[in-house]
Chains A and B, each alone.
Chain A
Amino acid sequence: MPERIVETVQVKHLRILDKKGNADPALAPPLSDEELKRMYEILVLSRTFDQRALNLQREGRLGTYPSFLGQEASQVGSAFAAEKSDWLFPTFRESGVYVAMGCPLHLLFQYWGGDERGMRMPDNLNVFPLSIPVGTQITHAVGVAMAIKYRKDRAAALAYFGDGGSSRGDFHEGLNMAGVFKLPVVFLCQNNQWAISMPRDRQTAAQTIAQKAWAYGFEGIQVDGNDVFAVYKATRDALMKAKGGGGPTLIECFTYRVADHTTSDDASRYRTKEELEIWKARDPILRLRMFMEKKSLWSDAYQKDVETRSKAVVDEAQKKAEAIALPDPRDMFTYTYNGLSQRQSRQLKDF
């Protein structure tokens, strides 16, 4: 018997906005002028926050901080597609997701300043506390999707991770389970080309990360991660599909970590300046700005206004975070268990 083809995989790459800010009219998401401006303003706000966090770290006022510079479109575009009822699972490099979901910014400064209370998200915000062990949050999103399906709620889970995370067993076990149970979950991989010093080709020999989805029985798509429209559209479509019972999707946002891994890292040790410059020129915020300029939604005066407002918001958040009194040291006993153990009570008594 001759061999026969039992499965073929075709991986698509989606780009809507080109580098000059021209949008493909057939694919451009139907966003109103107001929504476009809101998207742009969140992009600028997220970068303003990020740059301030870096500055504060250098001044010793924040601890180690992982910048998401260059990944704003991937983070803001995807979060912009989520509804309040959806559950988001960010990693440590997703400050842009928190900003876009409306997390009060002083909480982020508080958290990165070393105060756990900053990860207490407001009750109406279904954004999980960020996960530091790489890839481990993927299965939590899967579990939430199982619970959503069990309760028949109209919502979906959205798991963030990176190219490094895609190498881990958690990725495999999470995506595998999501496929088996056809769960309402979207896996959003920001392939930013670097996991600290390890380039993407040290994570997988596969041509794309998106294609791994087919091994789990669902579809993947690669999008230009510096194109906020492509990220938004792919995420929105995937979330709609998930909520309609169509199961999971893997989205690979092809982007770049312009910043060092964290403030403790020096990326010049392992990557070239030339590569960095190429990606800096692909600035995702600039691309939307060029698009808006063509639609007369952007001007120098508008830019100045957006920057001034962003700076004011970030100033205010920083001021608020820095004014928060130190937590009561006894606070560390409060949340380990629902109540105090005998030993904790004794330790607290002697504290």
Chain B
Amino acid sequence: MATMNTVQALNLALQEEMERDKDVIVLGEDVGKDGGVFRVTEGLYDRFGAERVVDTPLAETGIVGAAIGMAAYGLKPVVEIQFMGFIYSAIDQIFSHAARIRARSRGKYGCSLVIRAPYGGGVKALEHHSESTEALFCHMPGVKVVVPSSPRIAKGLLISAIRDPDPVLFLEPTRLYRLVKEDVPEIDYTVPLGKARIVQEGKDVTVIAWGSMLQRTMKSIEGMNVELIDLMTLSPFDEETVLQSVKKTGRVVIVHEAPSMCGLGAELSATIAEHAMLHLKAPILRVTAYDVVLPLPKLEDYYLPNTARIRKAIETVMQY
């Protein structure tokens, strides 16, 4: 057991998996000698060599497209996209091919591919460096979307993602890279995909969050009897855990840093309404970013959900 931040935990996960399985290959822009812009791949180049830690040309479509080919051949590529805001040119490859190659080939080819990308705001970055567009990818059948919320969870989820036979978009909350430290086991453990985690049990209200909003929510609910769920896998998400909790508490608040329109909160709300409506004592509330273009750092704090907004939503549903 060692205390480490999320960057170190992810780095350890990559090291362990590359050591365990020669088919695991890391590729992306600046992942080699430079160790990645956030240093998540630091040291891998020296340890595993240029053949397994591949510095690529600056070409997101090409990187993801090539990784799809590598996966079809039987390798397990782990792609790094430098920021989620730069992934859009690769969406054609992700949606048109990574998500469909298993179905198109009726199982002859899979796509065991991980695409890692720093994600989310709160680090005073340039335009395009704070995106939280996970819902785009959750809409696409065939892709899995995973967001860790702490170092220990990050390591276990990344190992599961690498071992998963399907394409996984692994979104790493930039804000959490170095914010939180935690004891991380150095033994082989995994956090399964498709399962949510009850961070704390409670009776009055279910709060669902993920990524850096999970950390922010934890700080917002002191003194409240909240059941807090870390969704971890956003797609396909763990409906059972969510519905079970809602049936117990009868109240729901969903917190995410993406805008509300067609955000994952909408899907969670609809699922809860469809399957647990009669258990609800209050309307489902969402605490989200505003439906505006993501502002530059000067206004970022006003854009992202904060403790006051999260508390207010919980207090509102408690009034019913």
What residues make up the interface of A, taking CB atoms closer than 8 Å to B? 87, 116-117, 119-121, 123, 128-129, 131, 133, 136, 138-148, 150-151, 157, 169-170, 173-174, 176-177, 180, 334-338, 341-344, 346
> A242 CB to closest chain B CB, in angstroms?
15
Cβ contact within 8 Å between B102 and A335: yes
Closest CB in chain B relative to A8 CB, distance in Å: 24
Count of B residues near A, CB < 8 Å? 48
**B165 contacts the other chain (Cβ, under 8 Å)?**
yes
Residue of B nearest to A139 (CB): B65
Q: Which of A151, A169, A180, A346 contacts B57 (CB 8 A)?
A: A180
Choice from A129, A138, A343 contacting B65 with Cβ under 8 Å: A138
SS class, residues of chain A in contact with chain B:
helix
- Measured CB to CB, the closest approach of chain A to B239, in angstroms, equals 5
23 chain-A/chain-B pairs, Cβ below 8 angstroms: A119-B104, A120-B105, A123-B108, A128-B105, A129-B101, A131-B97, A139-B61, A139-B69, A143-B71, A144-B69, A146-B66, A147-B74, A150-B51, A150-B70, A150-B75, A157-B69, A173-B57, A176-B62, A177-B62, A335-B107, A336-B103, A337-B236, A342-B236
Beyond A129-B104, A173-B62, A338-B110, 11 additional contacts (C-beta under 8 Å) are: A139-B64, A140-B69, A140-B97, A141-B69, A146-B66, A147-B70, A336-B141, A337-B144, A338-B164, A342-B239, A346-B239
> How far does the Cβ of A124 sit from chain B's closest Cβ, in whole Å?
11
Give the distance in Å from the alpha carbon of A343 to the alpha carbon of B104 in the complex: 21
Chain A residues, CB < 8 A from B73:
87, 143-144, 147-148, 151
Summed over the interface, the residue pairs from A and B with CB atoms below 8 Å come to a total of 136
Question: In the assembly, what is the distance between CA of A343 and CA of B66, in Å?
Answer: 31
Which residues of the partner chain B approach A177 to less than 8 Å between Cβ atoms?
Answer: 56-57, 59, 62, 66
Q: Which of B25, B56, B64, B105 contacts A129 (CB 8 A)?
A: B105
Binding site for A on B (CB under 8 A): 25, 51-52, 54, 56-57, 59, 61-62, 64-75, 77, 89, 92-93, 96-97, 101-110, 141-142, 144, 164-166, 194, 236, 238-240
The answer to whether B102 and A144 have CB atoms under 8 Å apart is no
Are A143 and B110 within 8 A (Cβ)?
no
B104 with A116: CB separation less than 8 A: yes
Complex: A88 Cα to B62 Cα, angstroms:
18
Q: Please determine whether A173 and B142 come into contact, CB atoms closer than 8 angstroms.
A: no
The CA-CA distance from A346 to B239 in the complex, in Å, is 10
Candidates B65, B236, B238; contact of A140 at CB < 8 Å: B65
Q: Which of A133, A146, A338, A343 contacts B239 (CB 8 A)?
A: A343
Q: Is the CB of A136 within 8 A of B106?
A: no
Q: Nearest Cβ in chain A — how far from B190, in angstroms? A: 16
Q: Select from chain A the residue with minimum beta-carbon distance to B67.
A: A143
Query: Whose C-beta in chain A lies nearest to the C-beta of B141?
Result: A336
Measured between alpha carbons, how far is A176 from B61 in the docked complex, in Å?
Answer: 12
- List of 3 A-B pairs having minimum Cβ-Cβ separation, nearest first: A143-B69, A139-B65, A173-B62
Minimal Cβ-Cβ distance residue in B for A131 = B97
| C-alpha gap A177/B109 in the complex (Å) | 23
B residues less than 8 Å from A148 (CB atoms): 73
**In whole angstroms, how far apart are the Cα atoms of A151 and B105 in the complex?**
23
Q: Is the CB of A128 within 8 A of B92?
A: no
Q: If A136-B65, A136-B96, A342-B239 touch, does A120 touch B59 (CB 8 Å cutoff)? A: no
In contact, B240 and A342 (Cβ under 8 angstroms): yes
Q: Which residues of A contact B144 (CB under 8 A)?
A: 337
In whole Å, how far is B81's beta carbon from the nearest beta carbon of chain A? 14
Contact: A170 with B101, CB < 8 Å? no
Question: CB within 8 A of B66: which of A142, A344, A346?
Answer: A142
**Contact check: which of A136, A180, A341 meets B92 at CB < 8 Å?**
A136
**Least CB distance, B109 to chain A, in whole angstroms:** 8
Instruction: Give the complex CA separation of A52 and B62 in angstroms.
Output: 37
- B72–A139 touching, CB < 8 Å: no
Q: Which of B68, B106, B141 has the most CB of A within 10 A?
A: B106
A142 to B27 alpha-carbon distance, docked (Å): 14
Q: Which B residues are in CB contact (< 8 Å) with A338?
A: 102, 110, 164-166
Instruction: Name B110's closest neighbour in chain A (CB-CB).
Output: A338
Q: Give the distance in Å from the alpha carbon of A143 to the alpha carbon of B64 in the complex.
A: 9
Which residues from B are CB-within-8-Å of A87?
73
Q: Is the CB of A335 within 8 A of B106?
A: yes
B61 with A173: CB separation less than 8 A: yes
Contacts of B102 in A (CB 8 A): 335-338
Nearest neighbor of A159 in chain B, beta-carbon distance? B69
Complex interface: chain B residues within 8 A of A341 (CB): 194, 236
Q: Identify the interface centre among A87, A117, A150: most chain B CB within 10 Å of its CB.
A: A150
Q: Are A143 and B68 in contact (CB under 8 A)?
A: yes
Q: Bound complex: CA of A336 vs CA of B62, how far in Å?
A: 24
